[in-house]
Structure formats: structure tokens, C-alpha cells
Structure 1
């Protein structure tokens, strides 16, 4: 299973903990692995700050993963090449955001990738990744 995290998410646990919480990306990776381990799935975790690197990861893992959890960070707003790469990813995938993007600044209220996602989880902090993993277990059954 692909766990794809965009710009600034490598700084989780330190970056604005009042918004994003205190869990690190390593904590999240461990939690997702716990959720999907019973199915025998392994987690391939990729975090990149550049959109092109994320696009490359989607293409690299498109045939070798059963689904994906994607937190595009701010690329949800205008990550058109990320959107195009996800459009070619035929497996189910869930968009995740730690904060409730609709309770924040207006520019965060629309995601260019959400219409392609199998589902979207927002505002539940790191626990949202666990929920997304459970949804993938259901969708990829």
C-alpha cells in the first residue's frame, strides 16, 4: 500500500502542532502499518516536498500497490500534475488532511484531486490516516 505525503509533512510533530498535532510522520507510518498488517500488506511510505517527486512515486508504485493514502498538503489547491498522475492510478485511494480544511482559510476549501479520490478524510488528525487505511482494506477487498 502506498502512503504518499506532500510538502511540509516531513515536519509533522514540530510544525504548528496546534493545527497538525504532535504525531510525527514515523508515528503515522507505524499506525497505518498496524492497520493493514493483518491483511499482509506492507506500507511503502513516500514523503516529498516537490510535486514532481510525488508524481514519480505514483508512477513508480502504480502496478505494485493495492491502493494509496494521499495527503497532498497544499498541493491539493493547485497540484495539477499530481492530479493527472492520480487520475492514472487505477487502484482505490483516499485523500487525507490532518486539519479540517473547511474550517481554515478560504483558499483551502477546494481540492483539485478530491473529485478523483475514492474518499476523503479531513479534520481528525493522525487518526484520519487509520480511518483511511481501514477504508482501503474495505475497498481493495
Structure 2
């Protein structure tokens, strides 16, 4: 039996992790986050695809393609969390478990960050745990996928 596969998507400006507002997002780079995710996925028996784009249409294309390539999606939509009905619609259309991740606690930040279009289609939302939130999301995804098998 093949390993369950998880697509980890990262939205705009996450390519700047480690240098962008480290007092909010920490000092780890996106490459550090990817390494953490790969280690966690290996330990959990998951196959992992890890991607980042600043372009909404690229994220949507990857989400749509995951219909045939992934068993679940972990997504940090970043600013698209609060603006993109299109990403929420794409996630809903894949009909796979989705876990939303945010490095910072979006509920302690500006009021416009308190609303998420993605949360309506997510099985779980993890925020405010720093980059450890990605590992927590992968653990939860492994549990969800094991139940589905």
C-alpha cells in the first residue's frame, strides 16, 4: 500500500520567512519549514509535496491538480485567507481533507485578519503555534487519512 500523500501549500510572502517581520513570523526560512515538514511526514508515513506561490491562480491550479495526486491538503493561504473566495471554492471542489495553518495568531492581529474564507472548508485550523503549526497539521492530517482508509 502506498503512503498517503499530502500537499502543503504556502501563499504570498511566505517565501520571505526569516527576513519578513521576524517578530511576528520568527527567524525560520521557508526552507527550514519544508525540512521540518519532510521530517514530520517521514515519521508519520506520509508522502509530501511542498510548494509556495505569490500567485493566487497558481495556488488554485495546484489545488485543482491535487484531485488526482494528493489525499489531503495543508494550506497556509497567508493574505489570501482573508480575500480569496476562489481558493476556498477550489479547496471545496477537491473534496479532500484540508487543514488551514497560520504561523501567527490571526485573531490577535488586525481586525481584517480575523475572517477566513478557507476556514469554512477546513477540517481544522491551527494558528499561533509558529512554524510548529505545520507539524501539528501533518499529525492531524495523518489521523484523518488513517480513518479514511
Q: Which residue of 2 aligns with 1:36?
A: 41
Q: Which residue of 2 aligns with 1:4?
A: 9
Q: Structure 1 residue aligned with 2:79, among 69, 74, 80?
A: 74
**Unmatched 5+ residue regions in structure 1?**
none
Question: SS state of the match for residue 49, structure 1?
Answer: coil
After superposition, the C-alpha distances for 1:99-121 in whole angstroms (9 at most, x for unaligned) are 00010000100101101101000
Q: Which moved more, 1:36-45 or 1:9-18?
A: 36-45
Q: Distance in 1 between matches of 2:121 and 2:78?
A: 16
Q: Which moved more, 1:37-46 or 1:24-33?
A: 37-46
Q: Which residue of 2 aligns with 1:26?
A: 31
Q: Please identify which structure carries the higher helix content.
A: 2
List aligned pairs for 1:1-141, cutoff 5 A.
Answer: 1-141=6-146
Give 1:39 shift: 4.3
Q: How many residues align?
A: 141
Q: Distance in 1 between matches of 2:61 and 2:84?
A: 14
Where do 4+ consecutive residues of structure 1 move more than 6 Å? none
Q: Structure 1-normalised TM-score? A: 0.96
**Unmatched 5+ residue regions in structure 2?**
1-5
Q: Distance in 2 between matches of 1:49 and 1:74?
A: 10
RMSD across aligned C-alpha pairs, in angstroms?
A: 1.0
